[in-house]
Structure 1
Amino acid sequence: MPQADFSYDAPGDAAGLPVSVSVFADRPYLRDQVCDDLRSAGFRIGRNGSIAALLKGDPVALGDAVLLDCPDIDAEGMAALSRLDMRVAQAGSQLIVSTSLVALDDVFACLDQSRAQILVDASRAERIVAVGRILGAVGGHRLREMSKEDRVALLHLSQQVDAIARQLDNLSDGGPAFALSDNDSEYRGPEHHRQGAGRPPLPDPSLVRQMIRQRQTRAQYFDAELFADPAWDMLLDLTAAHGEHKRVSVSSLCIAAGVPPTTALRWIRQMVETGLFDRVEDARDRRRAYISLSERAVDAMARYFAVIAGPVAVAA
């Protein structure tokens, strides 16, 4: 089977120079594959090597973007990754981190400055989508010669990402289920959630869990993709956890979303940016971070459930 050729006109900076990307991975075959794809896309490979060469070695020029394959990480690596996250943010670069579901919570906790793209157990196609996001940020480029099959595959992937963005844009515009007001009080962590003036109480968490089970039951009889709605599934999961006074890790929330983890992470990031979710640092362990409903989302969910109070036990 011939190797896919993902070719682009070379993206450049304001001076017309090729965009520089550094690639760091401990798996040589993966590092070579990513470098080949980036070169085909017209990027210039700035540096490439092992994770240790980046995280533990002497400071190196990062270039315009950094791709990091980090399937597992220890405490020392987390500290180094946090420094890299801050450095990338300060430099105005872009960061893509490929990791595993096992290491996701630790990696997520380290990345709160650079708006990094996080890929979980990524396929080559998912890496191409991530590269496409860099291309989109660079601008001034266009696809050139690709096979019909490759073009269709990339188009489908791009459409999926665009569909997520459009749906999230609708949420941020203040749809009927989430009438979010900018006047709501600032979120200060789950322990500070309070019932706003006139806000009805949230339903019993057991009823919300029942709704979640009912939604999951559909997958036994129908194609799960027919009902994929990660935003709502995550909102329900966080609503139940809020009533149970439980913290929700990012990996747990990805599972609740019912979509691939990389897709769920895109939703989570957008939901944080639109003010529905909050990233909550663990006060006792700064290496941990959780996701919770924002104060505004708690208010919206409470009012939503008040409207449907009668049929709560019916499938959502």
Structure 2
Amino acid sequence: MKKKHTQKRKVALLGLTLGLSLILSACSSSEGKSEARDPGQPLHVVTTIAQISEPVSKIGGDRVQVESLMGPGVDPHLYKPTPGDIKKLDSAEMVLYSGLHLEANMIKVFEQLGKNKPVVGIGDTIPEEQLLKDTGGAIDPHVWFDIDLWKQALEAAAEELKKASPADAEYFEANKKAYFAELDRLKQEAEDKMADIPEEKRVLITAHDAFGYFGRLLDVKVVGLQGLSTEDEVGLSDIERTVDLLLEHNVPAVFVESSINPASVNAVIEGARQKGLQVSLGGELFSDAMGAAGTEEGTYLGMYRHNVDTIHKALSGKGD
């Protein structure tokens, strides 16, 4: 059954890839190469996830126009680009994506686009020895939860902006340094908050395994019911092991994610209840997607701070 499902999925992905390739070819043949950019016009950048677009808009300032394909609640692991997305990508002067196989359904599209413009997976620039892997050797793509690693990725993005618009290089560098100083302050704030949680309670249980870098950076044990990708299935044994962990550490709360179905987390809460442990829903965390544009959680700094505050409040029992 699983083999048949995999074969169907491969056929579907092949059809999607062929369809998108035709769209890309049509765009390229009808529009031709982009005309040289007017130095007075902002550089047009399209990104996949908001964790890239919002920081890049800070670094680029008014010299860059940034669009993100994926908004709040969107799961990048499963995302398939629409014809409208392809047109946006094709019209951009630069495309920045996370990489590390996060946007798995878009790889062929990136390869095609990369023949005519800068298309950069900023996470792919991080040295492999600094990355986390699961037991099967797959790289964890959720690198934005390690602030130091995400600075490396954003550094690569800033360098691409400088290459595309050398006249603005000093402006981009100054903005980057100011933004990185904010990231350093956020990291210190996060370290202080997590250290305030008793060590035995410092256990973060979520719907899927997106918080490994967060845990490594801030000394938190992390358990994701699904694997690195939301395509992974949650089995009864996964739920039972998680319930046992809750009982062992007397963990008071578990968390849902804004872009993930909460069913598995609710099953853990019920399983713990049946064994005599009252576990609360600690709140909603942002993992693969950020909050709505125009809100504090719609910024990388605000999203990260929301997660830290939510975890601290639920696991420390102190409230903020």
TM-score (norm: length of structure 2): 0.30
Greater helix share, structure number? 2
TM-score (norm: length of structure 1): 0.30
